[in-house]
Amino acid sequence: MLEKALQGGPKYWLWMILLAAVIGAGSLCYYTQLIYGLGITGMSRDVTWGLYIAQFTFLVGVAASAVMVVLPYYLHNYKAFSKITILGEFIAISAVIMCLLFVIVDIGQPMRAVNMVLYPSPRSILFWDMVVLNGYLVLNVVISRVTMGAERKGVKPPAWIRPVIVLSIPWAVSIHTVTAFIYCGLGARPFWLTAILAPRFLASAFSAGPALLILLCLLMRRLTKFDAGDEPIQKLSIIVAYAMAANVFFVALELFTALYSASPEHIAPFQYMFLGLEGKHKLAPWVWTSQSMGILALVLLIVPRTRKNMRILALACIGLNIALWIDKGMAMVVTGFVPSPLGHVTEYTPTPPEIMIAIGIYAIGLFILTGLCRIALSLRGQLEA
Amino acid sequence: MSFNRRDFLKLTGLGAVSAVAARAAAAFPFFGGAPGAVKAETNAKTAKRWAMVVDLTKCKENCTDCIDACHTTHNVPDFGDDKRHEVKWIWKEPYKQSFPDQENEFLKDDLSERRVLVFCNHCQNPPCTRVCPTRATWKRPEDGIVMMDWHRCIGCRYCMAACPYGSRSFNWLDPRPHIKTITPDYPTRTRGVVEKCNFCDSRLAQGQMPACVEACKDRALIFGDLEAPDSPVRQILRERFSIRRKPELGTQPQVYYVV
Ligand code: SF4
Ligand code: SF4
Ligand code: SF4
């Protein structure tokens, strides 16, 4: 099946070569980081996790969100999703691979990463995250291979795959829950120490992921003969709207608890996020952008007139992803470290090589996603329009 | 009554098995033996639970003898003004920052402007070891020292996120060019691993007191066994009022401060 990824017109190849070039540039930066150490990044003794771990967190959400198409299709037999379920699984596969890469580039001694397997530590949430993420990757690879293989032969998928698919549903929830547990189990970090973190992660994931899927469908409609149809896109947009509403609600709950209780250690991080502390407020403009874009996108998604307009819907999905990316792919992680346990306010700015490494990993993800979509489309004979 | 691991092993007859396992581990340090652990000598200092008392009434404001001694003994690099990449095992921090929960607006004059020695608390219930995905940091069961294995650490920095006291440092860069004078009988670290105070476990094994304790001419640092009623630490804790850093987190720091 994989050979299908090698067939394509000039536009396809140009895109893949472009991605390969970006991957090359990212690898070069990573090589420099290996030689020089993580000091090449903007992280510091006080802010010990940054862009990499934040991308990891964001992408775990994207990976988990495949469940929003898998569940209605397989459990409720919602036929409209039949064409796009496979796309959801492809997004999941490429997102999980990116997650694993982001962890690898973040650790100081990547050559020793196998120590996590040699000395398994069930008390560590990171250990469990490794287990569930790899499991999720295997599940999605198996499911998409088997269902696609059956489709190619024009037969029904074998019966044994159904329990595997059903298993992938709670598994998707588990990857993001366990990822939230990495943060919310730490007494040292009051900003993360909240039971709502996992639900909030899930809500933001279930709106960002399907929004990306909508964008992918719209893109493929323009570039290829594949048309998901309006109905599944509209259904997805409702899912996006509900999940985003839940996310905004959860954020409001957090703000209320922190601000009304007036407990200094809970207020301080929020203060840093929105206003800045000790005159340091690099994050604030980003956070305000994120909040306002998020609310605006939510309004556009809730009002039926705007939601049903594909062009506005696309804009709303883009805005929503930028908003949630800033929130989760940046603010959530960094703010946990500000102020530090000793009350110091150290700011974090990712450095150019650090950003390039992150872009390189995204390029790897897109490369894989493009290749996978290519395979599926050529099987269905729906290539270029 | 406390029921500890040793009792459990005895009770279940696992003691013999674990003794054999321990010997095997010592023979093959690759499998679980702690590299860096110095072979216990006969005059090694031992305790059931090591602890430190910092007597703030004796510690001199501008003295850095203990800090210098520790950092020289342990080849801790000095990054000068580069605070982002700083590595430190023991340092001074303003009182209000060391004890955020004791933040009274008006304090005794000698406290409010005070800078307090801080270092790893060798917590009895350490969150840092709980989160480590490779068990590269662990609490030594025999004496409670929270150890660090620089050869196993993968540098994920989860332990740094989990430590509520900022006791841990990461080697963002190669530390070796930044060590002023290398002490040859102590290992240097490589970039990409975490390090912190280890209660001078290798000095203890050689029968010596921790370097910082030895360096303090004013005897402001008192080191001893919390489980021994007559130990100097128990004595001073009986007589003087002491506090610990962030006790509300339940980490049970083994470093006490006499104020
Ligand atoms: S002070 Fe920090 S590093 Fe030391 S044992 Fe406690 S939690 Fe671990
Ligand atoms: S940085 Fe090293 S010691 Fe700390 S949690 Fe990761 S592997 Fe363990
Ligand atoms: S006990 Fe040893 S390692 Fe810890 S601060 Fe003192 S000298 Fe340094």
B14: pLDDT strictly greater than 60: no
A385: pLDDT strictly greater than 70: no
Q: A17 CB contacts (<8 Å, ≥6 apart)?
A: none
Distance CA(A195)–CA(A176), nearest Å, equals: 14
Average pLDDT score over residue span A139-145: 94
Chain A: closest CA distance from residue B259 (Å): 19
pLDDT band at A5 (very low <50, low <70, confident <90, very high): low
* Tokens 């490494």 -> residue: A357
Q: Do A48 and B160 touch (CB under 8 A)?
A: yes
Q: Do B172 and A43 touch (CB under 8 A)?
A: yes
Instruction: Determine which residue's CA is closest to atom 4 belonging to ligand 2.
Output: B159
Instruction: Determine which residue's CA is closest to atom 1 belonging to ligand 3.
Output: B199
Choice among A1-10, A103-112, B56-65, B110-119 with the minimum mean pLDDT = A1-10
B18: pLDDT strictly greater than 50: no
pLDDT at residue B41, as a whole number: 54
pLDDT band at A382 (very low <50, low <70, confident <90, very high): low
pLDDT band at B6 (very low <50, low <70, confident <90, very high): very low
Average pLDDT score over residue span B145-162: 97
Angle in degrees, CA B225, B231, B235, rounded to 5: 120
Note whether B255 and B145 are within 8 A (CB). Answer: no
Distance CA(A183)–CA(A356), nearest Å, equals: 26
- Amino acid symbol at A20: A
Q: Do A342 and B98 touch (CB under 8 A)?
A: yes
pLDDT band at B111 (very low <50, low <70, confident <90, very high): confident
Pairing mode of beta strands B255-258, B115-119: unpaired
ipTM above 0.90, yes or no: yes
- Please count the other Cβ atoms lying within 10 Å of the Cβ belonging to residue A48: 25
pLDDT at residue A188, as a whole number: 95
Note whether B149 and B35 are within 8 A (CB). Answer: yes
B223: pLDDT strictly greater than 70: yes
Distance CA(A243)–CA(A203), nearest Å, equals: 5
Phi then psi for B172, rounded to 5 degrees?
-70, -30
Q: Is B245 in the pocket of ligand 1 (CB under 6 A)?
A: no
Q: Do A44 and B83 touch (CB under 8 A)?
A: yes
Ligand nearest to the CA of A182: 2
Report which of A212, A210, A213, A181 is spatially closest to residue A198, judged by C-alpha positions: A181
DSSP letter for each residue of chain B: ----HHHHHHHHTHHHHHHHHHHHHHH-TTTT--TTPPPPPTT----SSEEEEEETTTS-TT--HHHHHHHHHTT----TT-GGG---SEEEEEHHHH-GGG--SS--HHHHT-EEEEE----SS-HHHHH-TT--EEE-TTT--EEE-TTT-----HHHHH-TT---EE-SS-SGGG-SS--TTSPPP-TT-EE---TTHHHHHTT---HHHHH-TT--EEEEETTSTTSHHHHHHHHS-EE-SSGGGS---SEEEE-
Ligand nearest to the CA of A121: 2
Average pLDDT score over residue span A179-183: 97
Structure confidence by residue, pLDDT tens digits, A289-304: 999 999 999 999 999 9
Distance CA(B4)–CA(A277), nearest Å, equals: 46
Report which of A68, A107, A149 is spatially closest to residue B170, judged by C-alpha positions: A107
Chain B: closest CA distance from residue A99 (Å): 14
Structure confidence by residue, pLDDT tens digits, A38-54: 999 999 999 999 999 99
Q: A4 CB contacts (<8 Å, ≥6 apart)?
A: A374, A375, A378, A379
> How far is the centre of ligand 2, averaged over its atoms, from the C-alpha of B193 (Å)?
7
pLDDT at residue A154, as a whole number: 86
pLDDT at residue A248, as a whole number: 95
- Please count the other Cβ atoms lying within 10 Å of the Cβ belonging to residue A15: 15
Q: What share of chain A is helix, strand, coil (3-state, %, to 5)?
A: 75, 0, 25
Q: What is the mean pLDDT of chain B?
A: 86
Structure confidence by residue, pLDDT tens digits, A231-282: 999 999 999 999 999 999 999 999 999 999 998 889 999 999 999 999 999 9
Structure confidence by residue, pLDDT tens digits, B19-47: 444 444 444 444 444 444 445 457 899 99
pLDDT band at A6 (very low <50, low <70, confident <90, very high): low
Phi then psi for A83, rounded to 5 degrees?
-80, -30
- Amino acid symbol at A299: V
Average pLDDT score over residue span B113-132: 95
pLDDT at residue B1, as a whole number: 37
Find the radius of gyration of the CA atoms of chain A. Answer: 21
Phi then psi for B54, rounded to 5 degrees?
-105, 115
Structure confidence by residue, pLDDT tens digits, B162-218: 999 999 999 999 999 999 999 999 999 999 999 999 999 999 999 999 999 999 999
How far is Cα of residue A327 from the mean position of the Cα atoms in its chain?
Answer: 12
pTM score, whole prediction: 0.90
A9: pLDDT strictly greater than 70: yes
Residues 26-55 of B with CB under 8 A from A: none
Note whether B121 and B254 are within 8 A (CB). Answer: yes
For residue B132 the two structure tokens come to 């480590």
For residue A10, whether the previous peptide bond is cis, meaning omega lies within 30 degrees of 0, is: no
Distance CA(A4)–CA(A288), nearest Å, equals: 45
